[in-house]
Amino acid sequence: MLISDPVVEEARIFSPVFLTTAANSPYADPHCEKGSVGFVHLFEWRWSDIEKECPRLSRIGFCGVQAPIPTEHFLQDPPSWLDRYLPVSYKLFSRSGDENEFYSMVQACGAVGIRYGDHYWMVDVMMNCSRTHQGFFEVRGLTQNGLLESSRNLGIKCEGGEPIPRKSNYHLGMCGKLNVFRWGEKRCAIKAL
């Protein structure tokens, strides 16, 4: 999912979503400055290592980082990438680091123009799509200061042609699709992957 502006997004239901954006891709609205090459996926990296890497990534033209799922997760021996998709709580603690390292990384990367900080988020979440209404789920933004995004009052169709099954005051997304959410906008963008 692409989510813009809030520091944290509240999702009622979680599902796996993987996204990469290239400059000329049909999904290339990552709010990158002209000339940027897109995002890099640093899936198994520690927060402190991503923080150190962000200045170099910015210099060579990247504008965003997709990092590991930040929540506490199951740990196997030996560790596996799949562990990250077995959450045990919503605490920001994983083998990538703790909550302080996570926030430090977000601030440092945002300061050099890497949009995994202020004004832009790319989120990789776990979602139980069997618990949705016709595959739809709701997302609402929450700022660092604890302010909730105002209500959306969405129309009857999303960009991409998906009909909305019910009225919602939040952003609507759909399982198995590319979902683009923009802070403060009253529309949804649901596109085929």
3-state secondary structure 64-89: EEECCCCCCECCCCCCCHHHHHCECC
Whether 137 shows a pLDDT value over 70: the answer reads: yes
| Cα–Cα nearest to 5, from 134, 115, 107 | 115
Long-range contact set of residues 49-53: C-beta below 8 Å, sequence gap at least 24: 50/105, 50/109, 50/116, 51/101, 51/104, 51/105, 51/108, 51/109
Query: Please, which residues bridge with residue 171 across strands?
Result: 139
Whether 68 and 86 share a structural domain: yes
Q: Of the ranges 5-9, 28-32, 135-139, which is most confident?
A: 135-139
How far apart CA 70 and CA 103 sit, in angstroms, is 11
Domain boundary among 98, 121, 144: 121
Lowest mean pLDDT across 28-42, 82-96, 98-112, 116-130: 116-130
User: Rounded mean pLDDT of 61-81?
Assistant: 84
- Give the chain's mean pLDDT: 71
Whether 5 shows a pLDDT value over 50: the answer reads: no
* pLDDT band of 145, cuts 50, 70, 90: low
The pLDDT assigned to 125 comes to: 64
* pLDDT band of 63, cuts 50, 70, 90: confident
In a domain, 15, yes or no: no
The pLDDT assigned to 154 comes to: 64
Q: How many domains does the chain have?
A: 2
Greater model confidence, 188 or 21: 188
Domain extent, residue 176, equals 128-193
Domain boundary among 121, 152, 180: 121
Domain boundary among 121, 155, 176: 121
Lowest mean pLDDT across 58-62, 143-147, 178-182: 143-147
Whether 108 and 160 share a structural domain: no
User: Rounded mean pLDDT of 49-53?
Assistant: 95
In a domain, 8, yes or no: no
The pLDDT assigned to 35 comes to: 73
Is the bond preceding 30 in cis, omega lying within 30 degrees of 0? no
